[in-house]
Amino acid sequence: SAARLEGKVAIITGANTGIGKETARDLARRGARVIVACRDIAKAEAAASEIRAETGNQQVTVRKLDLADTKSIREFAGKFLAEEKELHILINNAGVMLCPYSKTADGFEMHLGVNHLGHFLLTFLLLERLKQSAPSRIVNVSSLAHHAGRIRFHDLHGEKRYNRGLAYCHSKLANVLFTRELARRLQGTKVTANALHPGSVQSELVRHSFLMMRLWKIFSFFLKTPWEGAQTSIYCAVAEELESVTGQYFSDCQPAYVSPWGRDDETAKKLWSVSCELLGIQWD
C-alpha cells in the first residue's frame, strides 16, 4: 500500500525491537505520529532515534509502558489521553514467550497477563479516543500457535499445571478471541479490530529458551526477517481495502484459517467477562 499517514497518530507496543520496531519505522516513513510504547526506555529511545534519523520524521516519541503492571498501563493511558487529542491506529504488538513460571505485578500468569490482559486493559482505556478519531484500527498480533491453545478457565494462571510453550499458545488464542468479541461489540463505530500471525520471525521473543535460540540459529534461513514479519501488521494498519474489514485473522497479508476454538463465540464472551473481572473494570 502507498497509503500516507500524515495527521494520523499510532501507538505500537513493544516497538523497540523486532517486528514492532519495523512496523514503527514503516508508519513513521508514511508520515504518522508514532508513539513507541515500551518497558525498556533506553532501548526504546535508541530505536526511536534511529527511526527519526532514517525517516526524517521527528514525530516518533517514546512512552513508558509495562504491560506486566496495570498501574503502568493506567499511567501510560492517562498521559497519552492528556497529551494527544486523536488516536487512529493501536497496534498491540508486544509479547512474551516461553517464560519460566512467573506472575505479573497483579498476580496474573506472565503470558496471559502481558499478551492478553495487558493489551485488553490498554485497549479499554484508549477506546473512546479511537472512537472519537474514527475511522480507526486496532491490530492485535497473535500467532499460528493459537491453534494449540485452549482457554483453561479452571486454571487460567497455570497454578495447577504449567507448560511454558502451551501458556504462550493459550495467550495467543486469547488474542484471537478478544479480537473476535471486540469486533462484534464495535460494529457501527468505524473502529475495526483484526488479528494476525506475523510468521516465524528471527526475533528476541525466544530469549527465555536456550533450546529455541539454538533452533532459531540453525533454521534462521527459513525464518522471516523482522521486516518481513512486520508486513502483515502494516497491512492491517494501513491497507485501504481493509477500512471496513473487522474481526478477521490474517497471515501473509491475507485472511487465514482460525482454529475452531478461536471461532467459539461463547468462549470469547466468557473470556471477555472473566478478563473484566480480573482487571476490575466494567466494559459493556
Active site members: 168
φ and ψ at residue 160, rounded to 5 degrees = -85, -40
Give CA separation, 222 vs 3, 143, 146, 215, 219, in Å.
30, 17, 21, 11, 6
List beta partners, residue 10: 34, 89
Report whether 201 contacts 227 (CB < 8 A).
no
Rg over alpha carbons for the chain, rounded to the nearest Å, is: 17
Residues 195 and 143: their CA atoms lie apart, in Å, by 9
Give CA separation, 56 vs 11, 31, 33, 44, 178, in Å.
19, 9, 12, 17, 36
Residue type, 253: C
Q: Where are the beta strands (DSSP E) in 46-184?
A: 60-64, 89-92, 136-141
Residues 248 and 41: their CA atoms lie apart, in Å, by 33
Residues 21 and 24: their CA atoms lie apart, in Å, by 5
In the chain, alpha helices (H): 18-29, 41-55, 70-83, 110-111, 119-132, 164-185, 210-218, 226-238, 265-279
Q: Which residue has the cell 533506553?
A: 42
